[in-house]
Amino acid sequence: MTQARLAVAIGVHVTNISEMERGLRPIGKEMAKRLAKALDMPYKAFL
């Protein structure tokens, strides 16, 4: 999945996805749950 598609799926700007991937933006519990749902993964994988 592209960053752009993931951003649309979870309702954030693509810049946020890029910053999370690079470790510049923290991923809180609620964001982890949104990512997990979109990517069909356990949310704890993002924490």
pLDDT of residue 14: 98
Give the residue numbers spanning the domain of 25.
Answer: 3-46
Q: Return phi, psi of residue 25, to 5°.
A: -130, 125
Identify the CATH number of the domain in which residue 24 sits: 1.10.260.40
pLDDT of residue 37: 97
Across the 47 residues of the chain, what is the mean pLDDT of every consecutive 10-residue run?
97 98 97 97 95
Model's pTM, two decimal places? Answer: 0.90
Q: Are 27 and 15 in contact (CB under 8 A)?
A: no
pLDDT of residue 34: 97
All residues at 6 or more sequence positions from 28 whose CB lies less than 8 Å from its CB, including other chains: none
pLDDT of residue 5: 98
Q: Are 47 and 35 in contact (CB under 8 A)?
A: no
pLDDT of residue 23: 96
Tally of domains within the chain: 1
